[in-house]
Amino acid sequence: MNSAIVVTGTDTDAGKTVFAAALAGALGAAYWKPVQAGLDGGSDAERVAALAGLPPERILPEAYRLATPCSPHRAAEIDGIEIDPARLDPPGDRPLVIEGAGGVLVPVTRNLLYADLFARWALPTVLVARTALGTINHSLLSLEALQARRVPVLGIAFVGEANEDSEATIAAIGKIRRLGRLPILDPLDRASLASAFAANFDLADFTA
């Protein structure tokens, strides 16, 4: 695998960081979160380092680290920082897993949405979605927004307890590949995550 993969989601807390950690660990990839909004309680990069066991050189520094846990456009304003989209082009490290923030239509700035950034990057993009009630609507809306911008969507990765009909319905109506599903892990640690990813996903789907 010699590319970069973008991990986005239907919403904040959908499970992007946990999935990105599993994927980066399995691929032996580096990880990059372009904008981290909210620093109390640790960054997503720190969480990925722990969950994937990545050495420090494979955790690439964020372009922006913002204090407030809210949408990046607002967190930047609160910190008095102007986000320069030119600094958000992916670094050259390969393989690379890139995590967005929140959902696909979250503003990076008042003039730029994450989905616009993904369209500019034109990298294979994975949508992380819950399996819980509400996921059909959230997933299909997110897919429409990505497809409208011609973002190359690699597939959908579910997180949560199995919901066979919802998962199949999203795949059929959204015309999207179901890549697999990470179950809720307890404990959630490096070993349980690596084995759940290996059991529920096919690495070849991410390396083709």
Ligand X SMILES: Nc1ncnc2c1ncn2[C@@H]1O[C@H](COP(=O)(O)OP(=O)(O)OP(=O)(O)O)[C@@H](O)[C@H]1O
Active site residues: 33
Q: Which of 4, 5, 6, 18 binds ligand X (CB under 6 A)?
A: 18
- 16 sits near ligand X (criterion: CB under 6 A): yes
Taking a C-beta distance cutoff of 8 angstroms, is the pair 15, 130 a contact?
Answer: yes
Element (H, E) at 138: helix 135-148
Alpha helix positions (H), 1-134:
16-27, 44-52, 72-79, 114-121
Name the residues that contact Mg ion, by CB under 5 A: 16-17, 44
- 9 sits near ligand X (criterion: CB under 6 A): yes
Toward ligand X, which CB reaches closer, 203 or 208? 203
Taking a C-beta distance cutoff of 8 angstroms, is the pair 102, 7 a contact?
Answer: no
CB atoms within 10 A of CB 2: 7
Q: Cα 86–88–93 angle (5° rounding)?
A: 120
- 14 sits near ligand X (criterion: CB under 6 A): yes
Residues 137-196 that bind ligand X (CB under 6 A): 159, 182, 184-185, 188
Toward ligand X, which CB reaches closer, 16 or 138? 16
Structure tokens at 24: 């980066």
* Least Cβ distance, residue 19 to ligand X (angstroms): 7
* Least Cβ distance, residue 110 to Mg ion (angstroms): 22
Q: Cα 190–193–198 angle (5° rounding)?
A: 125
Toward Mg ion, which CB reaches closer, 28 or 69? 69
Distances (CA, A) of 120 to 81, 115, 124, 167: 23, 9, 12, 28
Partner whose binding site includes residue 15, from Mg ion, ligand X, none (CB under 5 to 8 Å by kind): ligand X
* Least Cβ distance, residue 117 to Mg ion (angstroms): 16
With residues binned 3-state (H G I as helix, E B as strand, rest as coil), the percentages for the chain, rounded to 5, are 40, 20, 40
Could you give the string, one character per residue 96-125, with x where binding to ligand X holds by CB under 6 A and - elsewhere? -----xx-----------------------
Q: Which stretch binds ligand X (CB under 6 A): 6-14, 132-140, 162-170, 197-205?
A: 6-14
Toward Mg ion, which CB reaches closer, 76 or 106? 106
Element (H, E) at 153: strand 153-159
What residues line the site for ligand X (CB under 6 A)? 9, 12-18, 44, 101-102, 159, 182, 184-185, 188
